[in-house]
Structure 1
């Protein structure tokens, strides 16, 4: 009887081990197959684009063939568009994006912390932010041009204002979500206001602030074309706007692809920044 019982238990354990191994193998297969889903989706879009252009299902004026866009990319990169090469257009736009984004972070993060920790500050600044946040960029840009002129100042101001609310709102939410027990524990150890901000609020709210920074950067990219349509002579947004007036759809699509790729690159840099300076937390994939 004992031998039979031991055999049954051993058989049950072996079945459990095999089931566990099978489950782990299934999870591994899902993980490794998931790595290629992004590549598959991009390949599907490119294949559909090629087939539509190859069989003439779309007017080439509005949807040029992929090889036409590649040829335009090479031409703009080597010869240039309207007197500036592709690198010069990218450099001009990235300069505007980075300056506006850094200014939005420098102003937005401290202001968000202040509004999240002080009810008086929240009541003072929140109506202003909530008022201008839904304003359309072009409507706001007309006023900025009247105030600051048609130079770089109005462009940077528009990009700055478009990226500021996202950082402020994310910072306020991050600060208010801090566990009150951490704050009470720090106060019991004699931490003052600045020590609380430095040791409790900023470390605890870092991941959410980083998410707000990524969203803010996306808003700035969204408004770039609007910022570069007035009195600009270079920039990816201006190139897209200028080429659209002449129905140069290959240049438009090429410019949009460049904007998308540079935006993805900037977002990855922010993720790496978070992993380096906030190693105590993990940033969810998105």
Structure 2
């Protein structure tokens, strides 16, 4: 339900920001220069450029959704939060002879992180004191309960009653509503349920915000980011985890490109190479790198070499296919034109085929880098003791969601930076892309 609401809000923000920005920033939506003369945009990447206003609004929207569905202190509109404070509910007990009596359960709902604090004496924090109530005069006595938000507790209402459940006492109503074992009664402050054996439980209303265990607030993640850089995790700082992961990804990609591009060129230029390598490439290409982990361990051990080899295999087949596609996509008219001008085979390869295939190779390189970053988590499962993937996996075992999110954000930011850097490098090295 929460995920569907997030999607609906994001789509609503997309269309809303589009119409607002189109009115306020008209110039941002107007085509300029020669692009405005183009009438066909499908298949022409140069005809569509990213609207920076939309990019900024998209990032702000994602950040707002993050804040809105957490218990963040950032002053932005938020979804309804969990119940905190004091509440109560009434239950009716019936004896075997039909006699009934009512009692009240007073509930105090507190923040779950109170127990994680430390008081002045240096001792860990504890649950807040329960509400003080009078027991009442009937055989069913009033009860108290303390429960953390996002949690639930069993209410042993018979612990102070004059008649126990074993003697035939059973609950028949909650807040005046009839209830059977296994049923529930909802209130604005929470949900009261009866177990199959007739014992009540209380769960505070959660609202639409997520507990810190599932999604910590942005400021909590930021604090953890600085803590990881200062104190580290599993004996290494965040910078060291990042350096090792980046080093493995770059090495795996480098060797994958170093071997994959020549093979792809050979497959695109000669029928013998195409026939020789095609079965292997097409067989290995659909196999996910994760499936190769057992073989990598057996063949290369659990050291650094095994991780680099796994990333190498993740990049290899992509680079082969990209180079082969680039060569096969060269217009034959350009080759004939070069031959007619007296070019040798070497000149055709270096002056025609390579320049025209470079755009496809760069596209493949960007895809391969993305796959390598996606595989680094699995690669670092191979007995690694350092790396972003290792940090994330170890943190997940202890449910340290803030560390997991820090690792994910760092991987995403670095991946985005690599993508942007490769685009800039492509525009610098291949200025003729889309022009010839």
**TM exceeding 0.5:** yes
Match for 2:334 among 174, 182, 197? 182
Whether 2:414 is the aligned partner of 1:262: answer yes
1:61 — aligned with what? 213
Shift of 1:28: 3.0
Shift of 1:221: 0.8
Match for 1:199 among 333, 351, 354? 351
Whether 2:61 is the aligned partner of 1:44: answer yes
Match for 1:217 among 359, 363, 369? 369
Structure 1 stretch 54-63 or stretch 74-83: which is displaced more?
Answer: 54-63
Matched residue SS, 1:53: coil
Q: Deviations over 1:134-176 (max 9, x none)?
A: 2232220110110000011111111011111111112111111
Is contact 2:293–2:382 with CA below 8 Å preserved after alignment? no
Q: Deviations over 1:110-151 (max 9, x none)?
A: 111110111110111111111122223222011011000001
1:244 — aligned with what? 396
Is contact 2:28–2:53 with CA below 8 Å preserved after alignment? no
- Partners of 1:51 and 1:233 lie apart in 2 by 36
2:52 — aligned with what? 35
Shift in CA distance, 120/154, structure 1 to aligned 2, threshold 3 Å: same
1:143 — aligned with what? 295
- Structure in which a larger fraction of residues adopt strand: 2
Q: Deviations over 1:235-272 (max 9, x none)?
A: 11111111111111100011000000000111111112
Shift of 1:31: 5.2
Is contact 2:253–2:372 with CA below 8 Å preserved after alignment? yes
- Partners of 1:237 and 1:282 lie apart in 2 by 38
Shift of 1:62: 1.4
- Partners of 2:372 and 2:223 lie apart in 1 by 29
Is contact 1:166–1:216 with CA below 8 Å preserved after alignment? yes
Aligned residues: 258
Shift of 1:189: 3.3
Is contact 1:275–1:282 with CA below 8 Å preserved after alignment? no
- Partners of 1:246 and 1:224 lie apart in 2 by 21
The gaps in structure 1 that reach 5 residues or longer are: 1-25
Scaled by the length of structure 2, the TM-score of the pair is 0.57
Runs (4 or more) in structure 1 with deviation over 6 Å come to: none
Is contact 2:284–2:317 with CA below 8 Å preserved after alignment? no
2:19 — aligned with what? none
Shift of 1:279: 1.6
1:110 — aligned with what? 262
Higher relative contact order (CA 8 A, sep 6+): 1
Q: Deviations over 1:51-72 (max 9, x none)?
A: 2112352121111111111111
- Partners of 1:194 and 1:78 lie apart in 2 by 55
Match for 1:274 among 391, 404, 426? 426
Is contact 1:108–1:165 with CA below 8 Å preserved after alignment? yes
Scaled by the length of structure 1, the TM-score of the pair is 0.86
Whether 2:314 is the aligned partner of 1:162: answer yes
Structure with max Cα Rg: 2
1:13 — aligned with what? none
The gaps in structure 2 that reach 5 residues or longer are: 1-24, 32-49, 72-80, 83-208
Shift of 1:195: 2.2
- Structure in which a larger fraction of residues adopt helix: 1
Structure 1 stretch 104-113 or stretch 154-163: which is displaced more?
Answer: 104-113
